[in-house]
Structure 1
Amino acid sequence: MLDQDDDSLLKSKTDWTVDEVQNSNYNSKALNAIFTSVNMNMFSLITNCTSAKNAWDTLQRNCEGSESVRRTRLRMLTSKFEMMIMEESENIQDYDRRLQEIPNEAFSLGDPISNE
């Protein structure tokens, strides 16, 4: 909220609307889910974040890198798929497991690969 001099001030919790209380609860739940889902190294990166959006963006930036890094990783996955062959020492289940890692990783990078 703004004071008489148009300076930003934090609004007292007693003055929050129903929507603001609900959004605060959603943020707390999301932030708690993020905190409990990461390892200690990642937790140390986001421990000072007060919003789930900020924590998520920090993790995304540190885990995925920039957009150019993401595109490079997707190109590497495409090349890996095109060059993939079944090794003589592996069975069909092991080969299928290696093959399924490629679309799973592409999906995590935001570019799902269809089964076709």
Structure 2
Amino acid sequence: MQTHLSAQDDDMWYIITDRPMKIMKANTAVAVTEGIPQMIEKPRSEWTTEDKNKAKLENVARDFLYKNLDKNMFSKIKSCTTTKDIWEKLTQLYENNDQTNENKIMVAIQKFNIMKMKPGETMTEFDERFNNIIIELNALGKIYSNREVALKVMRALPRAWDIKTIAMRKI
């Protein structure tokens, strides 16, 4: 089965990998050279509905990328001004360099191993921090079984939770 991208998909990919789309038109004030008209940016007052939709693609592409990033990764790209900048930063962060990947896995495993509930931290806050580490590990290809995760959570809880964790272990 062959998949075909629509013109809009092609335009969005262009925006992500190359640069924001500029709406252009032929410059009628200049003679055509070698059969190719000189192009100039089209004033907004002359934009068609199709032009307006193309111009919106930068925001659509940026929104798509934002919605598919976790909080940690979003914080690393939030200062980027164009989708191309975001794409380049993500590419840089996710390069498949074996040594870099091994280091990232080691650091994430260490975070997992030393994970403890902080004094005064709510279960919701702890759960969010813990899940971020699990998501990071999964993204790096390190998958823990549900049993390993559950045991780690029980070991990460403070002594005040001992009675509850003992009861959970017996289930």
The 1-side partners of 2:10 and 2:144 are apart by 28
The 1-side partners of 2:138 and 2:119 are apart by 29
The 2-side partners of 1:30 and 1:114 are apart by 40
Residue identity opposite 2:146 in structure 1: N
User: How do 1:1-116 residues align onto structure 2 when only pairs under 5 Å count?
Assistant: 23=4, 25=5, 29=9, 32=12, 35=16, 36=61, 37-38=64-65, 39-40=80-81, 43-44=84-85, 59-60=90-91, 62-65=92-95, 66-116=97-147
Residue identity opposite 1:44 in structure 2: D
- CA 104–42 in structure 1, closer or farther in 2 if over 3 Å, else same: same
Residue identity opposite 1:32 in structure 2: M
Q: Secondary structure of the residue that 2:146 maps to in structure 1?
A: coil
Q: Kindly indicate whether structure 1 or structure 2 has the higher relative contact order, using CA contacts under 8 Å at least 6 residues apart.
A: 2
CA contact 1:106–1:112 (8 Å) conserved in 2: yes
Report the aligned-residue RMSD.
3.4
CA contact 1:81–1:102 (8 Å) conserved in 2: yes
Q: Deviations over 1:30-85 (max 9, x none)?
A: 77268313453551376xxxxxxxx8xx943x122322111111111111111111
CA contact 1:64–1:109 (8 Å) conserved in 2: no
- CA 78–29 in structure 1, closer or farther in 2 if over 3 Å, else same: same
The alpha-carbon deviation at position 106 of structure 1 amounts to 1.9
Percent of aligned pairs sharing the same letter: 18
Give the TM-score normalised by the residue count of structure 2: 0.38
Number of corresponding residues: 84
The 2-side partners of 1:109 and 1:31 are apart by 31
Q: Larger Rg: 1 or 2?
A: 2
CA contact 2:117–2:126 (8 Å) conserved in 1: yes
Q: Following TM superposition, where does structure 1 have runs of at least 4 consecutive aligned residues deviating by more than 6 angstroms?
A: none
Q: Secondary structure of the residue that 2:120 maps to in structure 1?
A: coil
Residue identity opposite 2:98 in structure 1: E
Where structure 1 has 5 or more consecutive residues not aligned to the other structure, the ranges are: 1-18, 47-54
